[in-house]
Chains A and B, each alone.
Chain A
């Protein structure tokens, strides 16, 4: 939550700065963002690989667990695609791409603004931040009325980090393993799905 706030503040300060003054070209050039993106993708890989829990969790995988991220993928893409169909100014393909961020706002917004358009990148940033915040707020209700997988599904990729503490608190530690597994699979899939949908 705190890091969402910092990120939003940085995004807004960049926005106001560029809106107010003419910045040097090297800063606004798209190459700068591409290289920053490569660094980020590398660090995502390092983070996943260096987590000692990853292997332990993968060993405990039961076939049923694979259905959890699968449900999140289909649910997010279909839900977002369906709403985009009825929204003016956004195509089903664009809506689906925003849904494919699974709450991973930093990576999805940067990839989308890079390979597609900046407008859609901003939508992806806000939509996926809102997804994380709604998950933090709704986890108690979701667990109570829709079962222990519901907050894990709502959290998407964030179920492995930012929303994990609250999910574990309300669903119990055996579901923490499912949350981390689902979040990990979705996190790794975000760049591939985005390039597949928008490429």
Chain B
């Protein structure tokens, strides 16, 4: 499992390194990634916080 994941990600690196368009925009891709990660977490925890208050929190 672990070895095949390592191999796959190495291969993805190989394809990206050989792709000039991807290499020239690496900073942009990183910034997009950061914003998308933040937004995915924010959306998830917002709904999870509502769910927790609604159904999971121990009642006083």
Q: Are B37 and A128 in touch, CB under 8 angstroms?
A: yes
Looking at A19, A128, A149, which has the most chain B CB atoms within 10 Å of its CB? Answer: A149
Consensus secondary structure, chain B interface: helix
Query: Given that A14-B10, A80-B36, A127-B37 are contacting pairs, would A122 and B29 also be in contact in the complex, using a CB cutoff of 8 Å?
Result: yes
- Closest Cβ of chain B to A126, distance in Å, is 4
Inside 8 A of A44's CB, which chain B residues have their CB? 1
Q: Are A32 and B11 in touch, CB under 8 angstroms?
A: yes
Q: Are B17 and A14 in touch, CB under 8 angstroms?
A: yes
Q: Which of A52-60, A129-137, A188-196 is the interface stretch?
A: A129-137
Interface residues of A in 69-110 (CB under 8 A from B): 71-72, 74-80, 82-84, 87, 89-90, 95, 98-99, 102, 106, 109-110
- Closest Cβ of chain B to A82, distance in Å, is 6
In the complex, A135 Cα to B48 Cα: how many Å?
Answer: 14
In the complex, A183 Cα to B13 Cα: how many Å?
Answer: 27
Q: Are B41 and A79 in touch, CB under 8 angstroms?
A: yes
Q: Are B33 and A150 in touch, CB under 8 angstroms?
A: no
Q: Are A76 and B44 in touch, CB under 8 angstroms?
A: yes
A28 at the binding interface (Cβ < 8 Å)? yes
Q: Are B4 and A40 in touch, CB under 8 angstroms?
A: yes
Select one of A18, A46, A127, A154 contacting B33, CB under 8 A.
A127
18 pairs, A vs B, C-beta closer than 8 Å: A13-B13, A14-B16, A33-B12, A75-B44, A75-B45, A76-B43, A80-B43, A83-B39, A84-B36, A87-B32, A109-B12, A118-B15, A118-B22, A122-B12, A127-B32, A127-B40, A150-B45, A153-B41
